[in-house]
Amino acid sequence: MSKSNSMLRLDKYLADLSVGTRTEVKQLIRKGRVMVNGNTIIVPETKVNSNQDRISVDGRELSYVHLEYYMLNKPAGVVSASNDKKQTTVVDLIEEAKRKDLFPVGRLDKDTEGLLIITNDGDLAHQLLSPKKHVDKVYFARLRDPLKKEDEEAFASGLTIDEEFTALPAVLKRVSEREAYVTIREGKFHQIKRMFEAVKNEVVYLKRISMGSLNLDENLSLGEYRELTEDEIKALRSSK
């Protein structure tokens, strides 16, 4: 990050790290509870270098994090959103988050489980979600009715869902009579469910197991998460 981009107002620095709202952190600063490089600072507008300056609140030193990346095994009943006044969101589950600007990369339906990336890296999110990038997303689906022989061909040909949406060709890989893996390169609203409805079937359970190069960590129980490794982040950035 360039030197110019690393210079921030002290109140923004603290708010970015969820120390409090902008109003709350201004009060902290004015009360003399914030130190920069060992000096008490009482002016919220003071510019600090997020890469170099040592900043502490009530004696606790902070470490500025520009970007965060988490893998979440999303449980059913949680909404794919950054905030919601009535329901628990996927971002609410990331208890160790240092930033306040995290968001889910794409959406999983409320009743859908599995892999979800939580980050504040907008460039990476755009790359993974852009239809032009053709990033594969693999789901495990359990169905109400047995799969038919012609379903694989129908998915491979591209399904007309309704007048406004024709799904791009997808890969349907049968696992058992009522179970299959589905690989898509889009992320339309209720897409997997709507594709099976188009072949007169119904999804009763759905779980995303991979996105681009990233596979769901089998060690993560539902609702658990971990930070992505540097190698995983690099691989995602090069996803095609």
Residues labelled as active-site residues: 109
User: Residue 118: enclosing H or E segment and its boundaries?
Assistant: strand 113-119
Contact between residue 68 and residue 98 where contact means Cβ atoms under 8 Å apart? yes
Q: Tell me the DSSP string of 158-188.
A: --B-SSS-BPPP-EEEEEETTEEEEEES---
**206-238 b/e (C-beta count within 10 Å ≥ 16 → b):** bbbbbbbbbebeeeeeebebeebeeebbeebee
Residue 97: Cβ within 10 Å count: 19
Residue 171: Cβ within 10 Å count: 15
Residue type, 68: E
Residue type, 76: A
- Which residues have a Cβ under 8 Å from the Cβ of 101 and sit 6 or more positions away? 16, 120
Alpha-carbon distances of 206 from 88, 179, 180, 196, rounded to whole Å: 20, 10, 10, 12
